[in-house]
């Protein structure tokens, strides 16, 4: 169900578009236990793709993509919520009609349950389940091999002391109220020696590998469940795009805020959103049948999966591992946005160019190159720039190459960020004559950032607010007017966005009734939408270009309009089927 919306505003990047000609890196050698990852089912016993049989376009796309990657897939039929027999939807608690989940949520739940059902019926030792609109990197096997090294480091017994693990919080993390145990990051480049796995190349101790998602948190004290807190940090992973191309539905985005460029992290699942791709073991599939298929559908499937992993809301805790950025992401083909989902509303927009976010050498975007047997793959960066050259809205020249707005209907809040301005400067408000405006234009409720990362030499600090304001390095009038244009453009976009948000919200209210379960936190069910128009003024204070861009440490809390992490019940986009 689409109870929230994310809009992207992109401006043209002026630099020339050059195809990404990069030499292909041959996979390095692997130990014997990792070899199966190179097989046709990626080291699982089966790869299933779930989706509606009527979406033959998606099946064609998935089939082509899988064949170009030498992956053997099998389709599992999803079903529309309206076609499910009412009596087949388990009801283990007494409920009112209006406490039922919406049909899209039920359809998505059933599609995934059909896949899980197959895993159990065929007694598969493990299976990877993908939604039918995902894309991956041409180097997927290397990525999975690296992920397997990481999951083994987190969950296999140490070779030297087989009764212990390198993560001191595995298998049982201290419960929430016990004193925080600090867990050092494990470097991917110095992994501990472990007992080689025997059950699966990914380890002997996992239930779920949630490797396609739209957001995860690092486990930490104070988050739900007693999730083990170890992280394997893979720095200099060339398959990770630059940070400015990364996004998540979970805020804060610690990976992007606190780790260097091209870092991938493997860790246990916490607050995952979207089930684009996940593997299950036979044991876990049986448990999912027991705990998710045969119980009330009281949340969307990804949210229930989160509870299943974390061991909250009446579920037992399971060993679920994940990776950030994920390895499977949505692919959006060119065409009417409506076609993107059979269950969510994507409006009347027409998408001129296909895209896949956060995958550098996307298989789908490189189908031509692969079909011709070439190796000069297009990088996501070139593709995004190419897409921008094809008539995306132009805003403020290269200063503001992308801004995005995230609105959550559940909390009644929205948030705006620039995703991709320049690395050279902060965005500041200036007067017509080019002087900085220091009286709280963009900064009223910001606390001083102390990034300490440099890169903004020549900046000043506003004596009143303590807010750092940076000057453009070049400082030419052209530069400054570009900034002005960018700022004005954003302010006007906010107006449009607010209008859009309110319009959408009206339509959503009716749908929400069904979706809001009785157990929902009451503060979430009464969002103050009506206050939004008057908040528009505050919102431009939230236009903060810097933290995402320069590798600065995150400026805690002040950047958020609201406690924004999708709470257990907040539903973002569900794209299945
Ligand atoms: C790939 O490896 C996995 C794990 O060892 C195994 O279960 C599966 O049968 C293999 N797939 C193929 C097609 O050989
Ligand atoms: C399922 O597979 C396991 C492991 O291969 C085997 O021990 C078990 O007997 C099988 N169960 C059924 C019902 O076939
Ligand atoms: C010249 C100057 O004041 N530079 C400062 C700009 O801001 C950064 C971080 O806020 C400081 O580290 C610099 O010293």
Q: Is residue 200 part of a domain?
A: yes
Q: Is residue 505 part of a domain?
A: no
> How many angstroms does the Cα of residue 123 sit away from the middle of ligand 2?
6
Contact 244, 420 (CB under 8 A): yes
> How many angstroms does the Cα of residue 124 sit away from the middle of ligand 2?
9
Q: Is residue 115 part of a domain?
A: yes
Q: Is residue 13 part of a domain?
A: no
pLDDT per residue as tens digits for the range 133-159: 999 999 999 999 999 999 999 999 999
Nearest CA to ligand 3 atom 6: 459
Which residues of the chain, if any, have pLDDT below 50?
A: 1-27, 388-405, 407, 418-426, 440-481, 509-577
Distances (CA, A) of 155 to 160, 197, 204, 430, 432: 15, 10, 8, 54, 60
Q: Is residue 128 part of a domain?
A: yes
Q: Residue 287 sits in a domain of what CATH number? A: 3.90.550
Q: How far apart are CA 422 and CA 493, in angstroms?
A: 19
- Model pTM score: 0.66
Which pLDDT value is given to residue 31?
83
The residue among 543, 512, 514, 515 whose CA lies nearest residue 529 is: 512
The residue among 240, 244, 269 whose CA lies nearest residue 257 is: 244
CB-side neighbour CA atoms (13 Å) of 149:
22
CA 158 to chain centre: 32
CB-based burial, 511-543: b 16+ in 10 Å, e otherwise: bbebbbbeebeeebeebebeebeeeeeebbbbb
Domain with 229 in it: 41-174+182-331
Q: Tell which one of 35, 41, 66, 70 to mutate to probe ligand 1, the residue whose CB is within 8 A of the most ligand atoms.
A: 41
Asked if residue 45 has its Cβ within 6 Å of ligand 1, the reply is: yes
Q: How far apart are CA 321 and CA 268, in angstroms?
A: 4
Q: Of ligand 3's atoms, which has the minimum distance to the CA of residue 449?
A: 10
The residue among 261, 279, 556, 308 whose CA lies nearest residue 423 is: 261
CB-side neighbour CA atoms (13 Å) of 206:
34
Asked if residue 425 has its Cβ within 6 Å of ligand 3, the reply is: no
Point out the ligand nearest to the CA of residue 456: 3
Asked if residue 468 has its Cβ within 6 Å of ligand 3, the reply is: yes
Q: Is residue 544 part of a domain?
A: no
Contact 411, 524 (CB under 8 A): yes
Q: At 414, is the secondary structure helix, strand, or coil?
A: strand
Which pLDDT value is given to residue 373?
93
Asked if residue 282 has its Cβ within 6 Å of ligand 1, the reply is: no
The residue among 132, 66, 280, 5 whose CA lies nearest residue 576 is: 132
Which pLDDT value is given to residue 221?
81
pLDDT per residue as tens digits for the range 532-547: 233 332 322 222 222 2
Tell me 239's DSSP state: T
- As to burial, measured by CB atoms within 10 angstroms (0-12 exposed, 13-18 middle, 19+ buried), residue 36 is middle
Which pLDDT value is given to residue 123?
98
Total domains in the chain come to 1
Point out the ligand nearest to the CA of residue 461: 3
> How many angstroms does the Cα of residue 425 sit away from the middle of ligand 3?
12
Q: Is residue 142 part of a domain?
A: yes
Nearest CA to ligand 1 atom 14: 39
Q: How far apart are CA 310 and CA 316, in angstroms?
A: 8
Which pLDDT value is given to residue 381?
65
Q: How far apart are CA 538 and CA 334, in angstroms?
A: 36
Q: Is residue 168 part of a domain?
A: yes
Residue keyed to tokens 């900046």: 459
Beta strand pairing call for 329-332 and 355-356:
antiparallel
Q: At 161, is the secondary structure helix, strand, or coil?
A: coil
Residue keyed to tokens 């509870």: 307
Q: How far apart are CA 555 and CA 574, in angstroms?
A: 30
Q: How far apart are CA 544 and CA 394, in angstroms?
A: 19
């Amino acid at each position: 169900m689409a109870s929230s919306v994310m809009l992207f505003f992109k401006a043209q990047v002026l630099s020339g578009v050059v195809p990404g000609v990069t030499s292909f890196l041959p996979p390095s050698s692997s130990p014997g236990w990792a070899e199966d990852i190179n097989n046709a089912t990626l080291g699982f016993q089966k790869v299933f793709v779930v989706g509606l049989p009527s979406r033959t376009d998606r099946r064609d796309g998935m089939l082509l993509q899988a064949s170009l990657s030498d992956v053997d897939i099998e389709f599992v039929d999803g079903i529309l919520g309206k076609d499910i027999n009412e009596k087949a939807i388990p009801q283990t608690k007494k409920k009112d009609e209006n406490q039922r989940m919406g049909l899209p949520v039920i359809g998505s739940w059933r599609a995934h349950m059909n896949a899980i059902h197959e895993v159990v019926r065929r007694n598969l030792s493990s299976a990877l389940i993908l939604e039918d609109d995902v894309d991956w990197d041409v180097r997927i096997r290397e990525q999975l091999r690296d992920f397997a090294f990481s999951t083994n480091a987190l969950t296999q017994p140490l070779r030297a002391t087989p009764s212990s693990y390198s993560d001191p919080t595995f298998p049982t993390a201290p419960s929430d109220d016990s004193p925080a145990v600090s867990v050092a990051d494990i470097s991917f480049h110095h992994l501990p020696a472990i007992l080689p796995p025997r059950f699966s190349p990914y380890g002997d101790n996992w239930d779920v590998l949630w490797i396609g998602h739209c957001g995860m948190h690092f486990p930490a004290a104070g988050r739900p469940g007693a999730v083990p807190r170890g992280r394997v940090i893979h720095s200099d992973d060339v398959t990770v795009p630059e940070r400015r191309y990364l996004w998540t539905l979970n805020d804060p985005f610690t990976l992007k805020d606190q780790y260097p460029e091209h870092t991938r992290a493997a860790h246990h699942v916490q607050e995952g959103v979207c089930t684009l791709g996940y593997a299950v073991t036979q044991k876990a599939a049986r448990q999912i049948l027991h705990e998710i298929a045969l119980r009330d559908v009281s949340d969307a499937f990804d949210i229930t999966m989160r509870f299943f992993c974390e061991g909250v809301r009446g579920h037992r805790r399971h060993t679920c591992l994940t990776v950030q950025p994920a390895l499977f992401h949505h692919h959006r083909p060119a065409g009417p946005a409506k076609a993107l989902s059979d269950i969510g509303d994507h409006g009347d927009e027409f998408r001129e160019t296909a895209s896949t976010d956060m995958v550098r050498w996307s298989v789908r975007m490189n189908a031509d190159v692969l079909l011709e047997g070439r190796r000069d793959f297009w990088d996501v960066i070139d593709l995004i720039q190419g897409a921008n050259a094809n008539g995306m809205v132009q805003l403020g020249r290269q200063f503001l190459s992308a801004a995005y707005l995230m609105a959550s209907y559940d909390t009644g809040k929205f948030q705006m960020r620039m995703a991709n301005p320049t690395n050279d400067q902060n965005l500041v408000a200036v007067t017509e004559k080019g002087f900085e405006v220091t009286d709280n234009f963009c900064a009223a409720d910001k606390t001083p950032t102390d990034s300490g990362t440099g890169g903004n030499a020549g900046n000043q600090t506003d004596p009143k607010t303590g807010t750092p304001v940076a000057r453009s390095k070049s400082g030419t009038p052209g530069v400054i007017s570009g900034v002005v244009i960018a700022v004005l453009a954003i302010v006007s976009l906010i107006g449009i966005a607010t209008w859009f948000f309110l319009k959408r919200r009206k339509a959503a209210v009716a749908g929400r009734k069904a979706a809001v379960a009785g157990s929902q936190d009451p503060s979430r069910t009464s969002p103050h939408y009506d206050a939004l128009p008057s908040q528009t003024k505050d919102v431009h204070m939230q236009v903060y270009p810097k933290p995402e861009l320069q590798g600065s440490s995150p400026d805690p809390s002040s950047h958020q309009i609201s406690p924004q992490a999708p709470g257990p019940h907040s539903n973002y986009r569900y794209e299945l089927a």
